[in-house]
DNA sequence: ACATAACGATAACATTTGTTATGAAATGAA
DNA sequence: TTCATTTCATAACAAATGTTATCGTTATGT
């Protein structure tokens, strides 16, 4: 009864979203897919609700089928955004999940959000039982590594203006669905500075 | 004859370094270890020599047994450091290695450096043949993900002064073996600014 | 040993970015 | 609707950081 609050199962539509995502990386047969689905739980997070709060250990990985989440760090009463996730992406503090140490960050919903949740023990069990899911785990880790590596290099090598222009091109959902002051702290700058950049960029 | 320039085999001492590193993650039996060692090549890079140049695809992963490497990005005739690696660590543009696209970065040796090299096809073949090496690949990807994720969050959430203090505590080798102007660009600041931070920190 | 280059501290000044405050428009709740 | 809240732009000023140059020291190569 460990996961009693999450024992609602995902809908066929939600399952299909995850299946399409998964098949970009591996091709599970029916048995393997059954193993996978057998450890899913559905979780709904209302707007302003939390997936994880700073200080807690992140014990699960979530696949977002609807909504938007951000993770942020609190310092001196201010919130600094680390990243944003939307439908068809994962939400987790994978560092905390893997190391089983308390997270430094909170994850909250910016919109009503539906998540398919996998718990730590079930994930490890999939890895142990199956070469296919072991490979899936590797490919996922490689993908998120590439993503965060590019983001890190952009922070060091690119000006905030260039980062903002990249955001417009590569992640338009952020511009459309996230308030500007949150985007500013995501870029490591103040809302005032971002507003100045926008004015400068608009005049071109 | 594909790797003809690298067909020197590693010494017993170098093999032992890699074995110790590997066994922190997986426990290969003799047969598995033999598979692993059968695709190693030794490469020596003299000081100021290159492991990879911007524009080339990174076709290998290297384990450093001696020396120091940095990767950097060139812009407007200046060099901006991305990271540094020393003995008992890997050197690679894993993004370029995995995606098979040209690297944006160059990797050069700051000291005479010895590397045990694994080529792309051999690595993929290990993953296909063996569940143990597939797992090793996952664990490596998870580790470097955590590393770069923490670095990225530090860039967004911490002041340069705090990052410098963390460097002293967590990566003293960088302070001891890397020139200050390279450390500065690694922190995303100018050498002058880093010098000012050092003076401020010293006066405490 | 010598000449040269690389390194690091510092100063003076320029530029960028942050801080605080204000107001107007958009959004959300009762 | 009405009222409060959030969001964003902007201005004035302060603080942080970058730029350029100089100087003495320390490595490096021949």
User: pLDDT tens for residues B176-199?
Assistant: 999 999 999 999 999 999 999 999
Q: Is A151 on the interface with B (CB under 8 A)?
A: yes
- CA at A74, C1' at C1: how many angstroms apart? 60
B160 touches strand D (CB under 7 A): yes
Among B92, B133, B149, the strongest candidate for a mutation testing the A interface, having the largest count of A CBs within 10 A, is B149
Tens of pLDDT, residues B93-111: 999 999 999 999 999 999 9
At A126 the pLDDT is: 97
pLDDT digits (tens, 9 = 90+) for A180-199: 999 999 999 999 999 999 99
Q: Read off the tokens for B58.
A: 């990174």
Strand D: positions under 7 A of a protein C-beta atom: 6-12, 17-21, 29
Please, which residues bridge with residue A68 across strands? A86
Q: pLDDT of A21-74, one tens digit each?
A: 999 999 999 999 999 999 999 999 999 999 999 999 999 999 999 999 999 999
Q: Does A177 contact chain B (CB < 8 Å)? A: no
Report the nucleotide nearest the CA of residue A179, measured to C1': D7
pLDDT digits (tens, 9 = 90+) for B146-158: 999 999 999 999 9
CA end-to-end span of chain A: 59
* Residue B149 at interface with chain A, using a CB cutoff of 8 Å: yes
Judge whether A147 is closer than 8 Å to chain B, CB to CB. no
Q: pLDDT at position A2, please?
A: 38
Confidence of residue B6 (pLDDT cuts 50, 70, 90): very low
Per CB-CB distance under 8 Å, the chain B contacts of A134 are 131, 134-135, 138
For the cut 70, the answer to whether the pLDDT of residue A171 exceeds it is: yes
Taking CA atoms, what residue in A is nearest to B79?
A157
* Residue numbers 176-195 of B with CB closer than 7 A to any atom of strand D: 188-190, 192-193
Model pTM score? 0.94
Q: B148 vs A152: CB contact, 8 Å cut-off? A: yes
Which residues pair with residue B64 across a beta bridge? Answer: B89, B115
pLDDT at A133: 98
Kindly tell me if the per-residue pLDDT of A108 is higher than 90. yes
**Which residues in 177-196 of chain A line strand C, with CB less than 7 A from it?**
188-190, 192-193, 196
Those nucleotides of strand C lying less than 7 Å from any protein Cβ are 6-12, 17-21
- Option in B82, B151, B157 nearest A73 (CB): B157
The 3-class secondary structure across chain B, one letter per residue, is: CCCHHHEECCCHHHHHHHHHHHHCCCCCCHHHHHHHHCCCEEEEECCCCEEECCCCECCEEEEEEECEEEEEEEECCEEEEEEEEECCEEECCHHHHHHCCECCCEEEECCCEEEEEEEHHHHHHHHHHCHHHHHHHHHHHHHHHHHHHHHHHHHHHCCHHHHHHHHHHHCHHHHHHCCHHHHHHHCCCCHHHHHHHHHHHHCC
Contact B157/A127, CB-based, under 8 Å?
A: no
């Amino acid at each position: 009864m460990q996961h009693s609050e999450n024992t609602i199962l995902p809908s066929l539509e939600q399952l299909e979203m995850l299946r399409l995502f998964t098949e970009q990386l591996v091709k599970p047969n029916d048995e393997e897919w059954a193993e996978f689905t057998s450890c899913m739980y559905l979780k709904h997070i209302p707007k302003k609700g939390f997936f994880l709060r700073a200080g807690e250990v992140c014990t699960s990985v979530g696949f977002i089928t609807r909504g938007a989440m951000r993770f942020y760090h609190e310092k001196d009463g201010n919130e600094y955004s680390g990243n944003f996730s939307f439908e068809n992406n994962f939400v987790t503090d994978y560092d905390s999940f893997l190391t089983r140490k308390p997270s430094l960050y909170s994850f909250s919903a910016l919109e009503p959000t539906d998540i398919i949740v996998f718990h730590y023990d079930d994930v490890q069990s999939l890895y142990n039982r199956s070469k296919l899911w072991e490979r899936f785990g590797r490919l996922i880790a490689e993908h998120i590594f590439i993503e965060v590596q590019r983001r890190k290099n952009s922070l060091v090598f690119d000006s905030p203006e260039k980062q903002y222009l990249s955001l417009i091109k590569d992640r338009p959902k952020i511009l459309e669905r996230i308030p500007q002051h949150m985007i500013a702290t995501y870029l490591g700058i103040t809302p005032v500075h971002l507003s100045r950049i926008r004015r400068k960029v608009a005049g071109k």
